[in-house]
Amino acid sequence: MLKGKETTIYDIASQLNISIATVSRALKDDPVVSKKTKKKIFETAEKMGYRTNYYASNLRKQQSNTIGFMVHELQSNFINSVLAGVEKEATAAGYDLIIAHSQENYEREVANAKNLFHKRVDGLITSLSFDTKNLDHFRPFTEKGVPIIFFDRVESGNDHPVVVIDNYKCGYQATRHLIDQGCKKIAHVTSNLARNVYTDRFRGYRDALAEHDLPFDDSLVIIGDLSEKAGMESARRILDIHPRPDGAFITNDFVAAVCIRTLKQFDVAIPGDIAIVGFNNDAIGHLIEPALTTINYPGKEMGEVAARSLVNHLKGIGSLRQIDRIVINADLIVRASSLKKVDGPR
Amino acid sequence: MLKGKETTIYDIASQLNISIATVSRALKDDPVVSKKTKKKIFETAEKMGYRTNYYASNLRKQQSNTIGFMVHELQSNFINSVLAGVEKEATAAGYDLIIAHSQENYEREVANAKNLFHKRVDGLITSLSFDTKNLDHFRPFTEKGVPIIFFDRVESGNDHPVVVIDNYKCGYQATRHLIDQGCKKIAHVTSNLARNVYTDRFRGYRDALAEHDLPFDDSLVIIGDLSEKAGMESARRILDIHPRPDGAFITNDFVAAVCIRTLKQFDVAIPGDIAIVGFNNDAIGHLIEPALTTINYPGKEMGEVAARSLVNHLKGIGSLRQIDRIVINADLIVRASSLKKVDGPR
DNA sequence: CTGAAAGCGCTAACAT
DNA sequence: ATGTTAGCGCTTTCAG
């Protein structure tokens, strides 16, 4: 970016003996410029290797054409699906993306938010960290009127639109499915119950139990982070329960996969002894054995919807102000790991 | 970004009755400004809710503080590890990231390159698409002196530094390991042999065979893309070979996992009938059964190294000019899927 | 140590 | 349909 003088609209203008205003207009395809001059301008721009200086343009226009994407973790299948969706829509609409990840850490999230604010993103798409306590760090955005869309892990009761799935329903469905399969004692392996996604799934689990006259038992709820270690520990915790549960609803496919592996090592038959339902529909789900029953959580669609809504708002096509939440479809995918009644494939 | 007037250095200056130059200097912690004025300036900046206008700053300084990250695919474990590494280093050094993905498509890659060039990235980190034919679209960068670092999928014989693993050695190691396990007929499931990563692994495979007096047989080389469908087809191709291979080196863990699943469905014992080695060390590897022997391809480290090298070059600490390639360590991880001689863990 | 002033490249209101 | 011009907010000589 340093070598060789950059061509500017001044260069094009003087080359063609016209004014910079005309060049500027032509370059943005303003219909007010005649076809002929436009053509000349485009040609010489091309010839002279002109490239727009977005810094000058943004400075002048007072907008950044940039969307911030701040998430708790980048190395996650789900988040990456979302990112792919966001990237697709944002690029299509001519927006850049600045990404920041908080490594599940509140302090870092605050720092990232500050940074994105200073970078003057036009809008923000974000999912909260594990231990995010409050939303104060988003206040500057609100004050400047920078729209924020939360997805997946969201905080209830704020003014920002939210893109989510119906976690309650999914939790209910998953548990209900296990009950339908004849499970009487269903463990629930999950994560930080302060986060909406997990509370809602938990409520679904509880209500499904209640509606089918199964007792809720606190000791069946196993909480951990989403690590492999936590998965193995959860499996051991399940093994320590007597009598042993005959079903488990695990709110993360990776953890479910680790659990299944560990349980099998202890000669527990899946689904025979314990039927298992995961969550997310990661690729691992149908590669492990038995194939994992799970909830399909369509990240890419979620990203597309979030980005599209944000972009439309920014462009003045429709507003986010009227929107409280957008709920994306998510469904149960039944595979072998939960099928007690019918024989699974193979 | 529109609501409420932004505070500028002018506001701070007039508030404090000093010049904007001093404010500007203080804000970047220029040692030439006295401690006292600096303190005052920081305080009122904070109080007035000042935020740097990077567009003005970049315009003035003629640099973007932005790094482009252009890859063939965003929904890939490997790429995401790399991205995580790049993001970490770039953020630490105060650079923004613009990401673009080409969906394995040459035309889109060309368009993305053009876009990033126009966005004036200070440097570019990229991995080529499946069918990228030439590097012409990178010429503008070269001409302007914008440094490019290629990783993973690279084109040989260009002037840009490259961050890779020793694919040849890894291919050799993987094959050698299978030979050590007693395999006599080893299939090779891989992808587009025009891409360095796959050619090099292929050469390693061939040479390992040759060195151990095993004949090379063209019909044992199975080429496909990296999809699930391709994985299943590859497995069927293997099954169609008579006599059946007793080993397979598959250059992608996901494809390997699909192959294993499919082979098992046809009652082929892994590793008993066919020993298998994958590539990448994705998480699936140790969740499937048997656990997958693979090559650990450390994406995050690769991203970190690439970004750090680029950043250092941009900051003038060390230059990329002297560097042709940086080779990251990658090693064989032996798990059950290839262990014919010893019994694997369960 | 501080200030004055020029100018980075562009947009848009206002002319013509 | 085209031109003139005033900034957008910052950095950086050059002067003091």
What is the DSSP track for A137-166?
Answer: GGHHHHHHT--EEEESS--TTSSS-EEEE-
Lookup: tokens for B101 = 């993905």
% of chain B at pLDDT higher than 70: 97
Closest alpha carbon within chain B to A72: B84
> Do B52 and A118 count as a contact with CB atoms less than 8 A apart?
yes
Of A53, A284, A346, the CB nearest to B265: A346
> Which of A125, A214, A1 is closest to B68 using CA atoms?
A1
Cβ-based neighbours of A265, under 8 Å, separated by 6 or more: B346
Question: What's the Å distance between residue B267 CA and nucleotide C8 C1'?
Answer: 70
3-state secondary structure of B305: helix
- Measure, in angstroms, how far nucleotide D6 C1' is from residue A59 CA: 14
| Angle value at C-alpha B128, between B123 and B133, nearest 5 degrees | 115
pLDDT at B316: 80
Strands B275-277 vs B247-250: parallel, antiparallel or unpaired: parallel
Which residue in the set B55, B77, B81 is minimally distant from A58, CB to CB?
B55
Distance CA B281, CA B257 (A): 11
Average pLDDT score over chain B? 92
- Beta-carbon separation of B289 and A284 below 8 A: no
Digit-coded pLDDT (tens) for B170-222: 999 999 999 999 999 999 999 999 999 999 999 999 999 999 999 999 999 99
User: What are the backbone dihedrals phi and psi of residue A51, each rounded to the nearest 5 degrees, phi first?
Assistant: -135, 140
Each of the 346 residues of chain A gets a pLDDT tens digit; together they read 334 578 999 999 999 999 999 999 999 998 998 999 999 999 999 999 899 999 999 999 988 889 999 999 888 899 999 999 999 999 989 898 999 988 888 999 999 998 899 889 999 999 988 888 889 999 989 888 899 999 999 987 678 999 999 999 999 999 999 999 999 999 999 999 999 999 999 999 999 999 999 999 999 999 999 899 999 999 999 999 999 999 999 999 999 999 999 999 999 999 999 999 999 999 999 999 999 999 999 999 999 999 999 999 988 887 888 888 999 999 999 999 999 875 444 3
pLDDT at A346: 38
* Per-residue pLDDT reduced to its tens digit, B30-83: 899 999 999 999 999 999 989 999 999 999 998 888 999 999 988 889 999 999
Distance CA A133, CA A155 (A): 9
Q: What are phi and psi of B196, to 5 degrees?
A: -45, -45
Assess contact for A139 and A278: CB atoms under 8 A.
no
Q: Which residues of A touch B64 (CB under 8 A)?
A: 1, 55
Per-residue buried b or exposed e for A187-220, using 16+ beta carbons within 10 Å of the residue's own CB: bbbbbbeebbbbbbbbebbbbbbeeeebeeeeeb
Phi, psi of A247 (to 5 degrees): -160, 155
Evaluate the omega torsion of the peptide bond into residue A215 and state whether it is cis, within 30 degrees of 0.
no
**Nearest residue to D7 (CA, C1')?**
A60
Q: How far apart are the first and last CA of chain B?
A: 60
- Name the pTM for this structure: 0.90
Cis peptide before A31 (omega within 30 of 0): no
CA distance A291 to A156: 34
Instruction: Please give the structure tokens belonging to residue A282.
Output: 């990661």
As given in the structure block, the two tokens for residue B97 are: 């990231």
CB burial of residue A15 (10 Å; 0-12, 13-18, 19+): middle
Residue A345: the pLDDT is: 42
Q: How far apart are CA A321 and CA A147, in angstroms?
A: 9
B143 or A22: which carries more pLDDT confidence?
A22
At residue A126, φ and ψ (nearest 5 deg) are -150, 155
d(C-alpha A139, C-alpha A332), whole Å: 37
Cβ contact (<8 Å) for B99 and A101? no
C-alpha–C-alpha distance, residues A180 and A271, integer Å = 13
CA distance B76 to A174: 28
pLDDT at B234: 97
pLDDT at A342: 59
B280: left (phi over 0), alpha (psi -120 to 50) or beta: left
Q: Which residues touch strand D (CB under 7 A)?
A: A 17-22, 25, 31-34, 36-37, 56, 59-60, 62; B 6, 8-10, 20-21, 24-25, 27-28, 50, 52-53, 56-57, 59-61
What distance in Å separates residue A30's CA from the closest CA in chain B?
Answer: 20
Q: Give the distance from residue B274's alpha carbon to the nearest chain A alpha carbon, in angstroms.
A: 18
- Report which of B254, B249, B241 is spatially closest to residue B271, judged by C-alpha positions: B249
Within 8 A by CB and 6+ apart from A21, the residues are: none
Burial class (CB in 10 A: 0-12, 13-18, 19+), B315: exposed
User: Nearest-CA residue to the C1' of D3?
Assistant: A19
Q: Whats the size of chain A, residue-wise? A: 346
Nearest to B68 by CA among B2, B134, B160, B150: B150
Predicted pLDDT at A4: 53
Which residue's structure tokens are 């082979």? B263
Least trusted range by pLDDT, from B196-210, B227-241, B311-325: B311-325
CA nearest neighbour of A306 among A148, A72, A157, A95: A148
Nucleotide nearest to B20 (CA to C1'): C3
Q: Which nucleotides of C are covered by protein (CB under 7 A)?
A: 1-5, 7-13
Nearest to B328 by CA among B137, B125, B162: B162
For residue B31, cis peptide bond before it (omega within 30 degrees of 0) = no
Which letter, b or e, does each residue of B181-213 get, where b requires 16 or more Cβ atoms within 10 Å of its Cβ? bebebbbbbbbbeebbbbbbbbebbbbbbeeee
Q: Stretch B249-265: mean pLDDT, rounded?
A: 96
B58/A55 Cβ within 8 A: yes
> Which one of A1, A64, A83 has the shortest CB-CB distance to B74?
A83
CB nearest to B87's CB, from A52, A74, A300 = A74
Confidence bin at B2 (pLDDT 50/70/90): very low
Predicted local distance difference test score (pLDDT) of residue B177 = 98
The residue ranges of DSSP E strands in B29-154, in sequence order, are 66-71, 96-101, 123-126, 148-151
DSSP for residue A74: S
pLDDT surpasses 90 at B340: no
Question: How confident is the model at residue A254, as a pLDDT?
Answer: 96
Give the distance, in angstroms, between residue A8 CA and nucleotide C4 C1'. Answer: 28
Beta bridge partners of B68: B98, B124
Query: Is B167 within 8 Å of B196 (Cβ atoms)?
Result: yes
- Contact at 8 Å (CB) between A232 and A265? no
What's the CA gap between B145 and B139, in Å, rounded? Answer: 10
Cα atoms found within 13 Å of the Cα of residue B181, Cβ hemisphere only? 33
Alpha carbon distance B150, B157 (integer Å): 12
pLDDT tens figures, B262-278: 999 999 999 999 999 99
